[in-house]
Amino acid sequence: MEKDKPDNVVFSNEHGYNASLLPYGTSVGAPVIQAVDLAGWKNIGISKVNKEFESRFNELKVQYQNLIDEFQWNELLYNARFSFEPIVGEIYHLYKDADGFNFLSLIASK
């Protein structure tokens, strides 16, 4: 297998002499190509993503806790005794009777 051109000549059968079109140096006198340190960039990116995930996770924890609190209040109210149909958004008063049971009332204490 004989070469038509020496190793230091940039020649391609498809493009011909294309050394001036390449994005990197092709001669002996061209600057050295050095790999960029990507570890620092990756670590910065990872820390940013982790902060974003932590922030979103904390928001979800707060929403979950609010949902649990709302569920507990609803369970407390609907397990109480009442003799009327409660309407959402109206003000009612929750009391504990002598037997220790909760009851819901329309009348406020004085």
The answer to the question of residue 87 being in a domain is yes
Residues contacting 88, CB < 8 A, separation 6+:
none
- Domain count for the chain, please give it: 1
Q: What is the pLDDT of residues 54-90, one digit of tens each?
A: 999 999 999 999 999 999 998 998 889 988 888 888 8
Which domain range does residue 109 map to? 80-110
Question: In which residue are the tokens 């922030």 written?
Answer: 55
Cβ contacts of 16-24, under 8 Å, gap ≥ 24 = none
- Does 109 fall in a domain? yes
User: What pTM value is reported for the model?
Assistant: 0.53
Q: Is residue 69 part of a domain?
A: no
96 sits in which H/E element:
strand 93-96
Question: Per the domain annotation, does 18 fall within a domain?
Answer: no
- Identify whether 110 is part of a domain: yes
- Segment 95-109, tens digit of pLDDT: 998 888 899 888 888
Helix (H) or strand (E) holding 63: helix 39-78
In a domain? residue 13: no
